[in-house]
Amino acid sequence: HITTSLPLPSERDHLRPRIDMIVFMIDIKSKYSLKNVEASLAHVDASFFLGKVCFLVTGVGRVNYCSVEMNAIWKLGEVYCSPVLFCELELEGIRVATAQRLLRMLQICAGHIPGVSALSFGTLMRRSAED
Amino acid sequence: MDETVAEYIRRTVLKIPRDEIKPMLQKWGFLSEVQLETVNFHQIKENISQDVVQLCEENSAGIKQAAVLDIIYNNIYPNKRIWSVYQMNKTGEETEFFDLTDFKKKFKRRLRSALKNVTINFREYEDNAIWIRIAWGTPYTKPNQYKTSYVVYHSQTPYVFISASVLRSNLPLLCQALVIASNYHDIHEMELRSHSLNSLKDIVFKRYSQNFKTYYPRPLPERNVAPETVDLRIIQENKNEKERIQRLNWQVFGDGPQPKIEFAQYKLETMFKSDPKMDVLDKKEPFRCLVKFSSPHLLESLKSLAPAGMADAPLSPLLTCIPQKARNYFKIREKKGLLPGSFVSP
C-alpha cells in the first residue's frame, strides 16, 4: 500500500489487510518530505516500532541537492529505534537491491522466516548502524 | 554599397542557424534564385555570410533591404527578445476602417518630426500583424541599426507588442506615434512581459485553454492516457485525494498547453504581521518586499506543482489568475477597511 501521509484514509479500513511493516520514505532533496514523515510518525501505534518500521532515504546520489541534514535522519532512527536505509531510486541496480532488502525484512516482519523475529532483526540492524 | 550596411547584413546572416539561412534569404527575396545557387550553404557560417554580402553588393543593397531581412529574422525568432504588451483606448465607439497607408504615413511623420535620425520599416503578415522596425539615432548621429525597437500591431485589436531594447527614453515618443497613427486616444502599458511573443498574443487574445467555472462537479473528461503497466498488487491509499487534485488542477488550468511566460513578480507593500510580542518593526510602515517566480515555463510548472505533491491544491489565486488578468507583474497592498488583508491592485 502506498500513501502520501498518515493516518490512512478511513474509508478503506475494511479493505486493508494486516500491516506487517511500514517503510517511511524520506527524499533527501526535500525538507517537506522529512516534515511529512515526522508528522506521520505520530499516528503509528507504538508496537510497530519493535522492528516493523524502517526509514528509507532516497535521492542520495545527488549530493549537491541535499536539503535534509544527515544528523536529523540519524536522530530519527535513534529516537524511533528503527533502521535507516539509503538508496538512489534513479539507478536500477540500487533500486532492485534495495527492494530485495526490504522484501527480506518484510518476510521477517510477517513471520515467514522461522527463528528470526522482527524485534531480533531490528536490534541486529541497529547495532551495525551504531558501529 | 555602404560599409555599415554590408556589415549589418553580414552580422544578421551570422545570427541565423546555418540550415535556415537559405530559406530565410529566399523569403527575403532580395537575391535571385540564380544568385542563391552560387552560394555553398554547407561551408562555415563565416564564409556563407561573406558570400551573401558579396551578392548583396552586386545588387546594391541599401539599409531598407537590410532592415527587411532583420524584420524577417525577428519575426521567425521573436523569442530572443523580451516583449511588453500595451493597450490602446479610444473614446468613441465607431470602428473605423483601418487604412494601412494612412497608418504608415502618420506614424513616420510623427516620429520624424520629433527625431530626424530614425530608420523606420514596415512589414505586413497574414494574421493582420504589422511589424514595425525602428532604428534610433540622436539629433546629431545617424540611426544605430543595432539599437532597434520592434512593434507588432494587430490592426483589428487595441493591442500593441513592443520590444523596446535599450533606448527606453524613446518609448514615450514611440507610444505617441502609435496612438496618433492608429487613431486611438491613449495607450498604457499592461503589466505583462515575456520572451514568447506568441504566448503573449495567446493571453491577450484569449487563445489559450481557459477554465470554465462549472457549478456541477464534473467527472474528469476521458483522456487518451497510455495504459500504464498497473500492478494490481500496488494499492494507492490516497487515490481520492489524487483525483481531487487532478480535478481542481483541470478546473483552473484546463486541458491544453499553457502560454509561456518566464516570470511572475509580486511587489508587496503590506504591513508585516508578526507576533506583537516580537516587536520586529517599531514604525508602522508597510514592509516592502519583492517576490519573483521564474521558470523556463512558469505556468506549466505551476500546473504540475499540486500533482507533484509540492503544493496544496487549490493554488493561490494570485498565481493562477495570471492568464485571466493578462498580467504577470503585481502590486499587493493592504486592503483598506475593517478587515486586515491584502488585495491585488490594478
pLDDT surpasses 60 at B214: no
- Look up the CATH number of the domain holding residue A62: 3.40.50.300
Contact B159, B87 (CB under 8 A): yes
Name the residue among B235, B309, B310 with its Cβ closest to that of A1: B235
Q: How many domains does chain A have?
A: 1
User: B234 to chain A: which residues are within 8 Å by CB?
Assistant: 2
C-alpha B212/C-alpha B217 separation (Å) is 12
In a domain, A118, yes or no: yes
Name the residue among A2, A5, A32 with its Cβ closest to that of B236: A2
Q: Do B241 and A4 touch (CB under 8 A)?
A: yes
Average pLDDT taken over every residue of chain A? 88
Q: Do A32 and B310 touch (CB under 8 A)?
A: yes
Contact A82, A53 (CB under 8 A): yes
Q: Do A2 and B234 touch (CB under 8 A)?
A: yes
For residue A104, name the pLDDT band (cuts at 50, 70, 90): very high
In a domain, A56, yes or no: yes
Contact B247, B277 (CB under 8 A): no
User: A12 to chain B: which residues are within 8 Å by CB?
Assistant: 237
Domain ranges of chain B: 3-76, 83-205, 241-333
pTM to 2 decimal places: 0.76
* Residues 234-273 (B) with a CB less than 8 A from some CB of A: 234-238, 240-241
- Give the burial class of B101: count Cβ atoms within 10 A of its Cβ; 0-12 exposed, 13-18 middle, 19 or more buried: exposed
Please give the residue range of the domain that contains residue A22. 18-127
pLDDT surpasses 60 at B239: yes
pLDDT surpasses 60 at B192: yes
In a domain, A9, yes or no: no
Q: Do B237 and A32 touch (CB under 8 A)?
A: no
**CATH classification (class only), B83-205:** alpha beta
CATH of domain B241-333: 3.10.20.720
Q: Do A12 and B237 touch (CB under 8 A)?
A: yes
Residue bearing cell 526509514: A55
Count of CB pairs separated by less than 8 Å, A with B: 24
Average pLDDT of the residues in B247-252: 88
Chain A residues touching chain B at CB-CB below 8 Å: 1-5, 8-9, 11-12, 32
Average pLDDT taken over every residue of chain B? 84
pLDDT surpasses 90 at B71: yes
ipTM: 0.74
In a domain, A117, yes or no: yes
Could you say which DSSP state residue B274 is in? -
In a domain, A26, yes or no: yes
Distance from CA of B309 to the nearest CA of A (A): 9
A4-43 pLDDT per residue, tens = 888 888 888 888 888 999 999 999 988 888 999 999 999 9
Return the C-alpha torsion angle B24, B29, B33, B38, nearest 10.
-60
pLDDT surpasses 60 at A45: yes
In a domain, A6, yes or no: no
B81-140 pLDDT per residue, tens = 999 999 999 877 666 788 889 999 999 999 999 888 899 999 999 888 999 999 988 888
Average pLDDT of the residues in B239-262: 87
How many helices and strands in chain A, by DSSP H and E? 4, 3
